[in-house]
Amino acid sequence: MSSSSTTTEAATLELEPARRPSHVAVIMDGNGRWAQRQGLPRIEGHRRGVSSVRRTTEECARLGVDQLTLYCLSSENWKRPQSELDFLMHLLEQYMIEERALIMKQDISVSVIGRRDGIPDSVLQEIDKTIEMSASNRGTRLCLAINYGGRSEMVDAVQRIAKDVFSGDIDIANINEQTISDYLYTSGMPDPDLLIRTAGEMRVSNFLLWQISYAELWVTSKCWPEFEISDLHQAMRDFANRDRRYGGLNPKKT
Query: Measuring CA to CA, how many Å separate 97 from each of 1, 100, 166?
Result: 19, 6, 42
For the chain, how many structural domains are there in total?
Answer: 1
Query: Measuring CA to CA, how many Å separate 163 from each of 144, 176, 189?
Result: 27, 16, 23
Q: Is the pLDDT of residue 1 over 50?
A: no
User: Is the residue at 4 inside a domain?
Assistant: no
Q: How far is residue 68's CA from residue 55's CA, in Å, rounded to a whole number? A: 12
Give the model's pLDDT for residue 250: 64
Confidence label for 253 from pLDDT (cuts 50, 70 and 90)? low
User: Is the residue at 250 inside a domain?
Assistant: no
Rounded to the nearest 10°, the torsion over CA 232, 211, 80, 33 is: -20
Q: How far is residue 254's CA from residue 162's CA, in Å, rounded to a whole number? A: 46
Cβ–Cβ contacts within 10 Å for residue 239, how many?
A: 22
Largest pairwise CA distance in the chain: 59
Range of the domain at 77: 21-240
Quick one: which of 48, 23, 13 has its CA closest to 34?
48
Mean pLDDT of 228-253: 84
Confidence label for 7 from pLDDT (cuts 50, 70 and 90)? very low
Told to judge if 66 belongs to the known catalytic residues of this protein, a careful annotator would answer: no
Q: What is the DSSP string of 108-125?
A: -EEEEES--TTS-HHHHH
User: Is the residue at 13 inside a domain?
Assistant: no
Told to judge if 107 belongs to the known catalytic residues of this protein, a careful annotator would answer: no
Give the model's pLDDT for residue 10: 45
Give the model's pLDDT for residue 9: 46
Among 29, 147, 193, 231, the active-site one is: 29
- What tens digit of pLDDT does each residue of 185-211 get? 999 999 999 999 999 999 999 999 999
User: Is the residue at 248 inside a domain?
Assistant: no
Secondary structure class of 74 (helix, strand, coil): strand
Quick one: which of 70, 118, 127 has its CA closest to 93?
127
CATH number at residue 74: 3.40.1180.10
User: Is the residue at 218 inside a domain?
Assistant: yes
User: Is the residue at 12 inside a domain?
Assistant: no
Among 31, 66, 77, 107, the active-site one is: 77
Give the model's pLDDT for residue 252: 58
